[in-house]
Chains A and B, each alone.
Chain A
Amino acid sequence: MSAVLKILSAGPMLTVQDLGRPGLAAQGLSRGGAQDTLALWEAAALLGLSAPVAGIEMPGMGGRFTVTEKTRVALTGAPMRASLDGRPVPWHSALSLAPGEVLSVGGVSSGTTGYLTPGGGIASEPVLGSRATHLAVRIGALLTEAEALPLGKDRAASAPPQVLRVAPRFEGGQIRILPGPQTELFSPEQIRAFEAASFTRGPRSNRQAIQMMSEAEPLWHMASGGMASEPIQAGDIQITGDGTPFVLGAECQTIGGYPRIGSVHPEDMPKLVQAGAESPLSFRFADPAPLPTGAERLRALRRAITPLLRDPATIPDLLSYQLISGVTAGDDLERD
């Protein structure tokens, strides 16, 4: 029997995610996939893979996991309190998990959503070319306690543990946005008001859209006025009926009628989805800069990986060790 990852307990919103199903929007299916795609690329870099594989997305809260064969797991995205058989282990890392050992992943310490990616990926049966659960259209479902997920072969199950220095993206900040087909319907004053406002993530946020709440008067409000619905995609910023902006998420619908002021720069989507309710966000129009190819992205990430010098099991003050390694991160990944 091939290896499985057993879920001993599950947080409320765990799903299997990969990079989703591009190319099916004409048939009404949005791409879906991980909310923070960078976290899957980070996992691929840590695991020495040539492309992201399917892992577990863990919004807010993780779970307890064990495996039937030795495998590595990468822990990426929002930092979460994690331990292996009770010993704290660092986040932004890849570690070996032996059969019988229990990996516990608690709540996020900053950001919104962490990821657990096994060394060979989760090998569930793909649907339409992807293993990603798409809750909105009922492909796949939330993961639950006692579930067992098939694992792909980890070709380096005993590789020494590694850690990744990450650029900060878990506390909000400024988000670059790009113009879209309806941007010019908004007046310069409306654009200025939108750029000047400070937003936080609202409670009506999920994998379909992220609600942007603000104390500022919504001068950017715009009535749709009978416009025919148009193609929409993740990152688009819809201005809904009462002026509340919603940033469309991975599981958004494929056509919609609300006016859209612009689209989040794809490189800033991870920062947007990782901003918790307390983290202020603001938006600023920017020019489209070319995105790195997958290979370029992996090369840059690999340069930020270092061996975890000591076995985590032998380091008594591991939490402080992790904090030191975390704050040394530069923002080199965001610079060209």
Chain B
Amino acid sequence: MHEQMLYFLQQLLNGLTVGSAYALIAIGYTMVYGIIGMINFAHGEIYMIGAYIALITITGLATLNITFLPVVLVIALVLAMIVSSAFGWSMERVAYRPLRGGNRLNPLISAIGVSYFLKNYVLLAQGSRDIGFPLLIKGSWTFGDPNGFEANFSYMQLTIFIVTIVCMVALTLFISKSRLGRACRAVAQDLKMANLLGIDTHKIIAATFVIGSALAAVAGMLLGMYYGSIDPEFGFIAGLKAFTAAVLGGIGSIPGAMLGGIVLGVAESFTSAYLSTDYKDVVSFLLLILILLFRPSGLLGKPEVEKI
């Protein structure tokens, strides 16, 4: 009994870890959707690029003999965020802005194009094989009977929690307190009206892409290190899951994305623990379909009213 309880707790912990990283990616989807009503299919690729940049930086610093852990982690994180933001900004500028105001289908197709372009860009430059991501934050707390099942709470998991919480708090403060954040909320509420009141909506939209990309890069670095390997394909599934999380929480709602990410992470972890690992991805897709059918507005979203 005790052992089963520990197993359950372990799965819960694993789910929360992955889920909080999903939440970080989901924020990018939800913010972009909240403002321009478009699914940015290429968001998963930004996350993948973030992981690659982090790994490149960590390896580069190791070559330069800089091994002081906090410094390495902070530099890798900052560089990953900067490069990913550059990608996010350029993507919006090149592929989405010229299409604004046209047919709804066009930006979606363009986004799929961007997604394939970026994936193959990294694939051609870095090769298609898995690359090991060194686990820099080692060690863990162990609970339970040394002869039976032991639950592990690793420092890496703790780091993921802390970084996620810091990001979430910073984002919430930014959105609710800062001038730019207020403009973001105004644009999300009514783009045309915000424009009339003198808000540079193009700038705000670009800013959302940058923020979303930076958060995705954080998630990319954390999850890359947590899973221990990355490849150019790994943005796709993570992107889909994060999208599911965004929809689950109510697309357009930032607290919704956070909640959705965590719920999805836990659901996924329990599926692979108690059902089957093969069908782990199927479950999240099924979850997505079910939410869309029965509660399209998600857990925290407002129901969409069709205006005529």
* Bound pair (A, B): no
Residue ranges of A at the interface with B (Cβ–Cβ < 8 Å): none
Residue ranges of B at the interface with A (Cβ–Cβ < 8 Å): none
